[in-house]
């Protein structure tokens, strides 16, 4: 049987037309099935029956409960990417929820070029909310990351710089300008020493800072590779933390930074260090006198009473100190009404176990400070190695004072010896 070419061409055209028609019918059936499946999910899934606004809030809470170090990083198994990959409805809600994308943890030198586009899309979805950036630094920042930061700098209110251990790379603190920055946290994990000038320059570029934390060592007693540099005045800074409470690492010479800054609005100051430098007392005193801040909360390691005379505005004081320094502070509280007249909350952590006889000065201090206008409301004394129980007569006195309304805790963990 033979066919003319024109007949075969007509048959092929007809079959092709029929195939396209069947494809259209199949696509329509697939679409109808998908819509029916979504409707069934909405009926069976309690999450789908919630208002969109409530679902959005639940997604944001996923970020708060995720303690993984990769949190807020573009990672498929963590929010927000995890919830946006469940179904189209969740994806639409996630993309339209700026709070999911406002925090971002990014590498300072990512390996692939795709990272830069991903970072940009991520932060675009956060509009119009302020941005919180966590930046992992193992070397100098790449140009792509610098461009991303420049694009969104006007909305960045929180920055955390994490300097991770990398013995093969030498790098300096990146000098980043953030017009709206409110909170800055710098953490150095490799015990790398940075010049004070690096820190001061970083503070100069963030004039609106409210909270600042430097967990690192400072090198050179203020030396800088470029010679002299301009001290920094931050008019809005309310909280400053230097050093870190850790048995393995604290800021060795944290008080050096105080020589080069003036903070007239400071309300809370935390200084943790492994050793006290010869000029630490004078540096601290000069800083307080120069700044004249309304300081209400002070946390110090290895202090003496000399530190504390220059801060009469203190309401909350936390000290880590030796037994002899504790006795000195308590004796001064008991005998000098001009010493910390506004103190309400005192916490003392001893570096070693105290002897029972030292509790007598605690009683003397409390009798003065709890039964007069110099009202001390809370006293906490603990020790790294535990505390020996006070003698019974001392306990009777402490319990009597506690019954007058003073919250007294002496012990370790959940055990209160009083």
Per-residue pLDDT tens digits for 59-109: 887 776 555 454 577 777 777 888 888 877 888 888 888 988 888 888 777
Task: Look at residue 285 and tell me if it is in a domain.
Answer: no
Written as six digits, the tokens of 336 are 């000098």
- Tokens 């000038």 belong to 197
Round to whole Å and give the CA distance between 269 and 256.
Answer: 14
In three-state secondary structure terms, 91 is helix
Helix (H) or strand (E) holding 358: none
Task: Look at residue 318 and tell me if it is in a domain.
Answer: yes
The per-residue pLDDT for 267 is 96
**Phi first, then psi: what are they for 344, rounded to 5°?**
-120, -30
Picking from 85, 100, 115, the residue at the C-terminal end of a domain is 100
The per-residue pLDDT for 167 is 53
According to DSSP, residue 190 is labeled S
Burial of 305 (C-beta count, 10 Å sphere; 0-12/13-18/19+)? middle
Task: Look at residue 123 and tell me if it is in a domain.
Answer: no
The per-residue pLDDT for 269 is 93
Task: Look at residue 342 and tell me if it is in a domain.
Answer: yes
User: Per the structure, how many domains does the chain have?
Assistant: 2
Which residues form the domain of 399? 298-418
Task: Look at residue 82 and tell me if it is in a domain.
Answer: yes
Question: Percentage of the chain surpassing pLDDT 70?
Answer: 77
Task: Look at residue 19 and tell me if it is in a domain.
Answer: no
The per-residue pLDDT for 220 is 43
Among candidate residues 341, 392, 398, the one with its CA nearest the CA of residue 364: 398
Round to whole Å and give the CA distance between 198 and 361.
Answer: 45
The per-residue pLDDT for 23 is 92
Picking from 100, 122, 147, the residue at the C-terminal end of a domain is 100
pTM given for the model: 0.77
The per-residue pLDDT for 298 is 92
Written as six digits, the tokens of 45 are 């899934």
The per-residue pLDDT for 355 is 46
Task: Look at residue 230 and tell me if it is in a domain.
Answer: no
Task: Look at residue 363 and tell me if it is in a domain.
Answer: yes
- Tokens 């070419």 belong to 5
Where would I find the H helices in 165-314?
196-204, 280-291, 305-308
Stretches in the chain below the pLDDT threshold 70: 1-2, 42, 64-71, 111-113, 165-174, 189-195, 217-229, 244-254, 273-280, 302-305, 351-358, 370-375, 383-386, 413
């Amino acid at each position: 049987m033979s066919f003319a070419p024109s007949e075969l061409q007509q048959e092929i055209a007809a079959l092709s037309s029929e195939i396209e028609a069947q494809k259209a019918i199949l696509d329509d059936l697939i679409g109808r099935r998908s819509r029916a499946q979504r409707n069934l999910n909405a009926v069976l899934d309690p999450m789908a029956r919630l208002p969109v606004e409530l679902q959005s809030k639940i997604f944001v809470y996923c970020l708060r409960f995720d303690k993984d170090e990769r949190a807020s990083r573009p990672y498929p198994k963590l929010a927000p990417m995890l919830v946006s990959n469940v179904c189209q409805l969740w994806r639409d809600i996630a993309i339209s929820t700026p709070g999911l994308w406002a925090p971002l943890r990014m590498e300072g030198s990512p390996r692939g070029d795709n990272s830069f586009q991903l970072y940009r899309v991520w932060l675009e979805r956060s509009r119009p909310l302020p941005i919180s950036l966590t930046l992992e630094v193992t070397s100098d920042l790449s140009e792509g990351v610098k461009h991303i930061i420049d694009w969104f700098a006007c909305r960045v209110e929180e920055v955390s710089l994490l300097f991770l251990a990398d013995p093969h790379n030498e790098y300096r603190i990146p000098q980043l300008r953030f017009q709206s920055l409110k909170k800055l946290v710098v953490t150095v994990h490799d015990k790398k020493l940075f010049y004070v000038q690096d820190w001061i320059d970083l503070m100069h570029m963030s004039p609106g800072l409210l909270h600042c934390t430097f967990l690192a060592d400072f090198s050179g007693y203020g030396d800088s590779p470029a010679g002299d540099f301009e001290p920094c005045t931050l008019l809005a800074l309310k909280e400053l933390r230097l050093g870190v409470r850790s048995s393995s690492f604290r800021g060795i010479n944290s008080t050096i930074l105080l020589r080069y800054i003036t903070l007239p609005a400071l309300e809370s100051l935390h200084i943790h260090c492994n050793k006290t430098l010869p000029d630490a007392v004078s540096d601290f005193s000069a800083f307080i006198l120069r700044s004249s801040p309304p300081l209400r909360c002070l946390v110090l390691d290895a202090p003496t009473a000399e530190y504390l005379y220059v801060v009469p505005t203190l309401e909350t004081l936390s000290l880590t100190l030796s037994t002899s320094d504790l006795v000195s502070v308590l004796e001064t509280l008991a005998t000098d009404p001009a010493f910390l007249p506004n103190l309400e909350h005192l916490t003392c952590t001893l570096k070693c176990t105290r002897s029972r006889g030292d509790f007598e000065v605690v009683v003397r201090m409390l009798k003065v400070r709890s039964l007069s206008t110099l009202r001390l409301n809370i006293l906490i004394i603990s020790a790294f190695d535990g505390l020996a129980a006070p003698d019974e007569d001392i306990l009777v006195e402490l319990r009597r004072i506690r019954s007058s309304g003073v919250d007294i805790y002496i012990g370790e963990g959940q055990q209160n010896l009083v």
